[in-house]
Structure 1
């Protein structure tokens, strides 16, 4: 064997040997758990901390809580591997799967055993607004508290069912629109800072537990179709051993009285197994919303509009095929 060949083989052997301990070391000693911004970070931390402490004890991993001022912060945190596991809404989970190597592994169960929740439009009880038709008729005189762009229940779902199907743009057609998390929007309606707001039904349940006197001064004037309960997401490249530890914890948590008490404060009944198929209805909603936007764009040429519409229709057809197959 020539010296050059021997040197090359030696280098390859050393590289292979060096890779072995690195592959074994892929299992982390700590992970960051991302929590979407449905209310202030301080309130979220106090609510989630007991569960995260139990997760740490059960898995032997150091668990770091990761908060961001908006949903995008948690998605980007997962994208850059600053977050390995997260609680997300369906829309933010879809973005994480598409852009941040995310993968759905579980979903929440509601306190009553249900596996879904609703998007609400709320107003004060003393408001003359009684229903969605009142909102649509008077929208130019109303201020709207709207959800984070990546919120399922406070943006995507009401954006389609309440506004999009009625040819209303919530970002432009009201007197004023402000974006905020669920808790802030609820308090803004109560404090008369906005006339109406889009929020999640479980956020209203948390308000009922935390501040019942304020909750009782509000009313629901529109309710969405049922939304699949929030998914739990991890990075797809998380090692198998860590995935098993995390999955085992969540799928068995909430059986003991103390655990039930912790989950009750989060308005969660437990967790069940899930996967990325949970996101299919959200993908369909997003594509329909995109299609409506393209159709309404007067600045597009006929050819460009048709090309874009056809591309969306292909994606919708594929999702429909997958749904029928599953």
Structure 2
């Protein structure tokens, strides 16, 4: 993934990011905003940040936008942001109504003053639960690396200091293993030679090619995505550590929309958005119904408490990135 992704909330100037992110947005979408016959704002602004290999982000939201417009009677105005700092400021300024957040970004948004309510988390396939894991990885032929303790003194690939599964959870794991000290991101450079690859696939490739002795990436990237693409061979990397399950990427609503609208949106996201329903409604066909650039199958209900684990890891690590 690029430096600014749903799993990478890099530090950025909020004012500058806001100008890039929400320029051209219509006025404040508070409870006093003009409503249509169904009680929704006449225009709903949805913001998202590109993930890896995203050439046309809006197209990946197409089926979802069509369904939302049908269900709400509103025009959905899509905004592609360069980073989440701008999305958060857009939420605070009431210029963004809905946004798609990674778990870390969702938590940091709240920390920085955005008042938002989770509407639903995405799932990859029917019947699955939302969420994913961080993997600690090395090459299969590395017999001297079999756990996080063995990362000490090695050249280790992380994704980005703002990445949930590529930095935050790995940092907590390294602390638990006694490799780095707690607080201020653990002074990682004193314990190993960190490399920030900027992307989960880039981190995995650097490990596979020997540019890093070990490193981190999220589970489906190395178990499926890169293998399906031919970038990795099955068994080329070995997993020596797995994090606890991390809450999934989430759609969240600006609380300025009001309780009634948010209640209706929660019902739509939790009960009416999946591939089968999108196709039945005629909004798309087949694999084109997978939405967002995470290629989601559907959305399921999720509560804010699902992200308590991320908050706990922030407390344990003392990571400055948790403060935005």
Provide TM-score, normalisation by structure 2.
0.67
SS at match of 1:228: coil
Residue 224 of structure 1 and its aligned partner are, at CA, apart by 0.8
Confirm or deny: 8 A CA contact 2:207 2:213 kept in the other structure. Answer: yes
Larger Rg: 1
Confirm or deny: 8 A CA contact 1:253 1:271 kept in the other structure. Answer: yes
Q: Which residue in 1 is equivalent to 2:117?
A: 103
**Is residue 55 of structure 1 aligned with residue 82 of structure 2?**
no
Residue 250 of structure 1 and its aligned partner are, at CA, apart by 1.8
* Residue of structure 1 aligned with 2:90, choices 55, 69, 77: 77
The Cα offsets for residues 219-260 of structure 1, whole Å up to 9 and x where unpaired, read as 433211122223321111113454345333322211517377
Confirm or deny: 8 A CA contact 1:124 1:218 kept in the other structure. Answer: yes
Q: How does 1:8-27 map to 2 (within 5 A)?
A: 23=32, 25=34, 27=40
Q: Which residue in 2 is equivalent to 1:39?
A: 52
Q: Distance in 1 between matches of 2:129 and 2:266?
A: 20
**Is residue 115 of structure 1 aligned with residue 130 of structure 2?**
yes
Aligned length: 268
Q: Which residue in 2 is equivalent to 1:271?
A: 299
SS at match of 1:23: coil
Q: Which residue in 2 is equivalent to 1:225?
A: 244
Confirm or deny: 8 A CA contact 2:157 2:203 kept in the other structure. Answer: no
Higher deviation after alignment, 90-99 or 173-182: 173-182
Q: Which residue in 2 is equivalent to 1:249?
A: 268
Q: Distance in 2 between matches of 1:184 and 1:287?
A: 28
Residue 286 of structure 1 and its aligned partner are, at CA, apart by 1.5
The Cα offsets for residues 2-47 of structure 1, whole Å up to 9 and x where unpaired, read as xxxxxxxxxxxxxxxxxxxx93616533233233454244265554
The Cα offsets for residues 250-300 of structure 1, whole Å up to 9 and x where unpaired, read as 22211517377333873534222222222222222222222x99xxxxxxx
Sort the Cα spacing of 1:249 and 1:85 in 2 relative to 1 into closer, same or farther, 3 A.
same
Residue 160 of structure 1 and its aligned partner are, at CA, apart by 0.6
Confirm or deny: 8 A CA contact 1:163 1:170 kept in the other structure. Answer: no
Q: Which residue in 2 is equivalent to 1:180?
A: 198
**Is residue 132 of structure 1 aligned with residue 141 of structure 2?**
no
Q: Which runs of 5+ in 1 are unaligned?
A: 1-21, 294-326
Q: Which residue in 2 is equivalent to 1:284?
A: 312
Q: Which residue in 1 is equivalent to 2:78?
A: 65
SS at match of 1:116: coil
Q: Distance in 2 between matches of 1:275 and 1:224?
A: 21
SS at match of 2:232: helix
Provide TM-score, normalisation by structure 1.
0.66
CA RMSD, 1 decimal: 3.5
Higher deviation after alignment, 71-80 or 272-281: 71-80
Q: Which runs of 5+ in 2 are unaligned?
A: 1-30, 181-185
Confirm or deny: 8 A CA contact 1:182 1:203 kept in the other structure. Answer: yes
The Cα offsets for residues 123-153 of structure 1, whole Å up to 9 and x where unpaired, read as 45555564334642342xx14233341x322
Sort the Cα spacing of 1:23 and 1:35 in 2 relative to 1 into closer, same or farther, 3 A.
closer
SS at match of 1:226: coil
Higher relative contact order (CA 8 A, sep 6+): 2
Q: Which residue in 2 is equivalent to 1:6?
A: none
Higher deviation after alignment, 260-269 or 76-85: 260-269
Q: Which residue in 1 is equivalent to 2:160?
A: 147
Confirm or deny: 8 A CA contact 1:110 1:116 kept in the other structure. Answer: no
Sort the Cα spacing of 1:29 and 1:180 in 2 relative to 1 into closer, same or farther, 3 A.
farther
Q: Distance in 2 between matches of 1:46 and 1:209?
A: 25
